[in-house]
Amino acid sequence: MSPSHIHVPTDCRTVTEILSRVGDKWSVQVVVQMGEGPKRFNELRRAVTGISQRMLTLTLRGLERDGLVTRTVYPTIPPRVDYQLTGLGCSLLKTVRGLGDWAIEHRDEILTARRRFDASGDEELDRERPDAA
């Protein structure tokens, strides 16, 4: 049987780098907020609970750098800046929403598994420790 995916170290680094961007706490929330349409900086800051101004700036720059978000500056006083998902960003939003739907669908199973694991965790640890007798 031949492998369907050949392991190439450079591919792993690329995937890890991209997943670090799209899988971090703030990027996901910002992308979801922009799924409703273009947003201004302060709209995003109010919508993403707990994000600092600096972290939002860094997140938006990273998303823009990766081609997921566009930044449009309007020549008004003061300047107006809108952020919007690109086509690539919209495809990420679709994936993120799918993952969110999966999490909601399987929430009860996961909580049950966690309770079962936590309840048996102490017994397992006692059996694994060499000094336990």
Report the alpha-carbon distance of residue 59 to residue 72 in Å, rounded. Answer: 16
Mean pLDDT by 10 residues, the chain (133 residues): 58 80 88 94 95 96 95 91 96 91 94 91 63 54
**What pLDDT does 14 receive?**
78
Inter-CA distances, 8 with 11, 14, 34, Å: 5, 10, 34
Q: What is the pLDDT of residue 62?
A: 94
What is the predicted pLDDT for the residue at 125?
A: 59
Check residue 103 and give its pLDDT: 92
Q: Which residues contact 43 (CB under 8 A, 6 or more apart)?
A: 33
Domains along the chain? 9-128 (1.10.10.10)
ω into residue 130 within 30 of 0, thus cis? no
> Half-sphere exposure of 12 toward its Cβ, with a 13 Å CA cutoff?
5
Amino acid 10: pLDDT: 67
Confidence (pTM)? 0.74
